[in-house]
Chain A
Amino acid sequence: MKRKISVILSLLFLFILFWAQWNWKHLSSFPSIISSFYSKEYCSCYFVMELSEEQCHDFARQWVPISEFKLDKENKSVTVKGLGRTNTTKYLSKEYGCTLATD
């Protein structure tokens, strides 16, 4: 019985390993979604649509919570940390609004 379970577990592990490798490009970028979405949509909500801080948090909130948030009103930027990744969005101008910073 024990042997049976360990065989099943190893097969499952192997399957997950293959699946993860197959989908690596999706998996590796996935954690960044939370902070990039939050910072981009918050930036546009606050600086472009000019809604309140509270309303913009409601607008950008997702089902995975974020761990850090910084609204820099002076430099017009929004930095958010979530799932271990940090992303910043900057407000450029009235015409061009906000753009996620890219490295």
Chain B
Amino acid sequence: MKQSLIFIILLFCIQCGKDLSPFGGEPEVNTLKPRLKPEWPNPTWKVVSPESVGVSSDKLKLVEEYAFTRTGDETDRKGRRTDSLVILRNGKLIYEKYARNFSEDKVHLTWSVSKSILQTMYGIAVKQGLVKLDDPGYYHYEPLSRDEAHKKITIRHLLNMSSGLAAEEGYESGPLKSSVIAMLYTRGRKDMGSFCAGLPIRSEPGTQVYYSSCDTNILSAILKKVYGAEEYDKLPFEKIFKPLGITNVTFERDGSGTYVGSSYLYMTAKDLAKIGYLYLNDGIWNGERLLPEGWVQFTRTPAPGYKSTPYSEDLAEDNYTAHWYANTGVPERGIHEPWPDAPKDTFAGLGHWGQMLYVIPSLDLIIVRFGDDREKAFIKNDFLKLVKESVIR
């Protein structure tokens, strides 16, 4: 009894030391400056020496060492297991390496980086005037009209991961009740959008950020209704991949033919870098505006729902924006930058088991890293620190 009392008091004291309060105002997101001389990869990237664009080759070796040195047991899939690493500066390729039987021509599963490209599809749809960010989802997609609470969910809420739907985004940690596993592999696989729209509401839409693959697949199902099945099938290929010169790509669908926007896009590292380059250039490709004005600003701004999301330790792990991640922190909610040693304007598309697309406007850098990390051995901040330190001017 005495022992447990001491334990409780100790636990209380440990909690007392933590500052759980907000420490500043709103996150700072400056508008991207227009780039003066963007270089378009036609059909592929121009290769130059790192030094010619102000990057140290010697320092890049440390980046390579970090990424490609196996630190764990391969059969148990432990440690850092990098498959591809591509780095671009000033629109030119300065580093490219592959491992574990991957090569420049092989596509790699991007897992949740797919979400960030699904968001690109929304940019296109908004620019075409087919959807508005504040449209309630049910305007376009009937399963969201099941009751008044579901009718409040807008496209913006879904893009901000703030639908309020009671999803459980656990993979290996809690497979039994995980709605993402049920969605991908069992009860939801036939029609993921309708499975997800059927989840009950946990909080007022727009008020709380909760990362959920369900939000993405509802968005994907909405787009199918907006465009019609035939046009929707061609949408990513015709409107995104073709203009960017991406031909080697696979986008898998669920049992009803809806793109699994949450998880199943396959691309090569250099092609994914093109998506990063589109965002680095504020949605303009080869002089043509593909994404609406303000879209990249929306992409880099932390989800407004953070203001009222109850504080938890997990919140500090990411600054979710609109299907991308930012490095701004959310000071008004007590959330620091997730990668303190990377520039504050870094933004990213990130996926399960170590898939990463980083865009760093202030350093004019794009980094794509693919891997198969089954444990948290690849520390994003350590890796980004090394990349940042390789820049000499």
Tell which of A29, A32, A102 touches B255, judged by Cβ atoms closer than 8 Å: A102
Smallest Cβ-Cβ distance to B176: which chain A residue:
A26
Tell which of B100, B177, B253 touches A26, judged by Cβ atoms closer than 8 Å: B177
Q: Which residues of B contact A29 (CB under 8 A)?
A: 182, 186-187
Taking the nearest CB of chain A, how far is it from the CB of B26, in angstroms? 40
Q: Which of A26-62 contact B (CB under 8 A)?
A: 26-27, 29-30, 32-33, 36-37, 40, 44-45, 48-52, 55, 58-59
Tell me how many residues of B have a C-beta within 8 Å of chain A: 30
The answer to whether B109 and A100 touch across the interface, beta carbons within 8 angstroms, is no
Separation of A44 and B111 alpha carbons in the complex (Å): 12
Taking the nearest CB of chain B, how far is it from the CB of A90, in angstroms? 11
The answer to whether B252 and A97 touch across the interface, beta carbons within 8 angstroms, is yes
Tell me how many residues of A have a C-beta within 8 Å of chain B: 30
Tell which of B100, B176, B255 touches A99, judged by Cβ atoms closer than 8 Å: B255
Taking the nearest CB of chain B, how far is it from the CB of A75, in angstroms? 18
Tell which of B77, B184, B251, B264 touches A95, judged by Cβ atoms closer than 8 Å: B251
Separation of A96 and B237 alpha carbons in the complex (Å): 11
Judge if B215 is at the interface, Cβ distance under 8 Å.
no
Taking the nearest CB of chain B, how far is it from the CB of A92, in angstroms? 8
How many pairs of residues, A versus B, come closer than 8 Å at their CB atoms? 75
Judge if B372 is at the interface, Cβ distance under 8 Å.
yes
Judge if A23 is at the interface, Cβ distance under 8 Å.
yes
The answer to whether A33 and B106 touch across the interface, beta carbons within 8 angstroms, is no
| A23-B189 contact given A48-B107, A59-B372, A95-B237, CB 8 Å threshold | no
Smallest Cβ-Cβ distance to A85: which chain B residue:
B186
Q: Which residues of B contact A51 (CB under 8 A)?
A: 101
Taking the nearest CB of chain A, how far is it from the CB of B104, in angstroms? 13
Judge if B185 is at the interface, Cβ distance under 8 Å.
yes
Separation of A8 and B324 alpha carbons in the complex (Å): 51
Residues 80-103 of chain A: 1 if any B CB is under 8 Å from the residue's CB, otherwise 0? 000000000000001111111110
20 of the cross-chain contacts (CB-CB < 8 Å) are A23-B176, A23-B177, A26-B182, A29-B186, A33-B181, A37-B185, A44-B266, A48-B109, A55-B100, A94-B250, A95-B249, A96-B251, A96-B252, A96-B253, A97-B250, A97-B251, A97-B266, A100-B255, A102-B189, A102-B255
Chain B positions within 8 Å of A, measured between CB atoms, are 75, 77, 100-101, 106-109, 175-177, 181-182, 184-187, 189-190, 237, 249-255, 264, 266, 372
Chain A positions within 8 Å of B, measured between CB atoms, are 23, 25-27, 29-30, 32-33, 36-37, 40, 44-45, 48-52, 55, 58-59, 94-102
